Structure 1
Amino acid sequence: MRKHLIVTATAIGLVLSACQREAENLVEVTGHLFVFNYRVASATYLLMLKKTGPIPDGSVIIAEFENPQGGAPLVLNQKVYPIDDKIALQSQNLHCVRKDRPYTVNVRLVDKDGKVLQELKTQFRSDLDQTVLPSKPLVVGAFYDKNPEVFKPDGSVDFSNTDKCPA
């Protein structure tokens, strides 16, 4: 009888412990890449997240992108809306992205009171060097007119990249 009681209590304990959820992840990374836009001569980080649990109203995602140029990280604060199932985080324009170098991004999901709900860390790696981009946009204006600073009146073109990047 005593043995039966111990086995039953153990089985109930195992079943109940299986019902408890570990710390729930509210978002997960579904993709990350560098976006090189030749037309406007820009490069940005793009991080995609998928909502995997209920996020409290008023929550904010704080992403700290490593600055390829050096110095302080590039910080993005973005409100999360209840209707959002997918969340896209895009950094400001970057300079000095290097091919095959890892760049770290730290992400915090914070509720309206400032309590950290979840932290994520991921790395970006580009298969292109930013030197492939021109320093100046190829087009300007609403009609995508050729940029006269790139396409000279004499017929020559200047696609050079003049970014001053650390070695």
Structure 2
Amino acid sequence: MPGKRRSVFTFRNLALGLCGLAVVLFAIGFAMRERVADKPYLRIAGASFIFNYRVSDAYYGFTAEVEKPVRNFSTIEADFEDPAGGPPFHVATTLGPRTTRYGLRSPSLQGIDKNKPYRVTVRLIQNGDGAVLFSRTFTVTSDLSQAVLPPAPLTVGPGYARNPDLPNGWTSPEAGHLL
């Protein structure tokens, strides 16, 4: 029958087309993959100073994200430089199975200077053999000095009553420079 056309949509053509599409998608996925071996164990997502003027407290810290599989109950350790000149503050947290983001912070500080970098050393210690999987040193710089904090908490008690120990009319020596 010379006038009859054969359909191009046969099962064989459909199977070949789907196989071709699968090969192309696999090649794109393979080319765009991230190699876990090339990543560091931890990524420092951010670091900063925190000044809580209401309670007259200042500290600094950072957030670390686990980028590679690590044994549960491994430890992230950090040594924070003491702005007052004492020995570094040692802080540690244990890794658990429920999260990959960890925040570490120094204890309350005194003597923070504006625009001075303070050193932080971070280590990831593997549970079991104690191997150091990650070690990095970085600095954190404050935009403010300790002088912006009041000499005592601004409020006391659950009703946020004014602190009677605070000098009447107290203002920060740097208040005019902050605006």
For the superposition of Structure 1 and Structure 2, which TM-score range results when normalised by the shorter chain? 0.7 to 0.9
Aligned equivalent of 1:15: none
Which of 18, 21, 32 is equivalent to 2:47? 32
Q: Could you list the per-position Cα deviations for residues 105-147 of structure 1 after superposition, in whole angstroms to 9, with x for gaps in the alignment?
A: 0011112232211112111011111111112111122332221
Instruction: Pick the structure with more helix per residue.
Output: 2
Q: How far did residue 25 of structure 1 move?
A: 1.4
User: Larger Rg: 1 or 2?
Assistant: 2
Aligned equivalent of 1:136: 152
Q: How far did residue 58 of structure 1 move?
A: 1.1
TM-score for both structures, normalised by structure 1: 0.75
Which of 106, 114, 119 is equivalent to 2:135? 119
TM-score for both structures, normalised by structure 2: 0.70
CA distance in 2, matches of 1:25, 1:160: 43
Q: Specify whether residues 78 and 67 from structure 1 end up closer, same or farther in structure 2 by C-alpha distance, changes over 3 A only.
A: same
User: Secondary structure of the equivalent of 2:37?
Assistant: coil
Which of 137, 143, 166 is equivalent to 1:150? 166
Alignment of 1:35-54 (within 5 A): 35-54=50-69
Q: Which amino acid aligns with 1:33?
A: S
Seq. identity, %: 35
Q: How far did residue 158 of structure 1 move?
A: 4.1
The ranges of structure 1 where at least 4 consecutive aligned residues each deviate by more than 3 angstroms after the TM superposition are 19-22, 157-161
Q: Is the 8 A contact 1:149 1:158 kept in 2?
A: no
CA distance in 1, matches of 2:146, 2:159: 26
Q: Which amino acid aligns with 2:156?
A: V
Q: Could you list the per-position Cα deviations for residues 54-88 of structure 1 after superposition, in whole angstroms to 9, with x for gaps in the alignment?
A: 12111111100000000100111111112212111
Q: How far did residue 21 of structure 1 move?
A: 3.4
Q: How far did residue 41 of structure 1 move?
A: 0.5
Q: Is the 8 A contact 2:36 2:68 kept in 1?
A: no
Q: How far did residue 29 of structure 1 move?
A: 0.6
Gaps spanning 5+ residues in structure 1: where? 1-18, 162-167
CA distance in 1, matches of 2:55, 2:137: 29
Q: Could you list the per-position Cα deviations for residues 90-109 of structure 1 after superposition, in whole angstroms to 9, with x for gaps in the alignment?
A: 11101111011110000111
Q: How far did residue 27 of structure 1 move?
A: 0.9
Q: How far did residue 159 of structure 1 move?
A: 5.2
Q: Could you list the per-position Cα deviations for residues 8-38 of structure 1 after superposition, in whole angstroms to 9, with x for gaps in the alignment?
A: xxxxxxxxxxx8935x511111100000000
User: Secondary structure of the equivalent of 1:21?
Assistant: helix
User: Secondary structure of the equivalent of 2:102?
Assistant: strand
State the aligned residue count. Answer: 138
Gaps spanning 5+ residues in structure 2: where? 1-34, 174-179
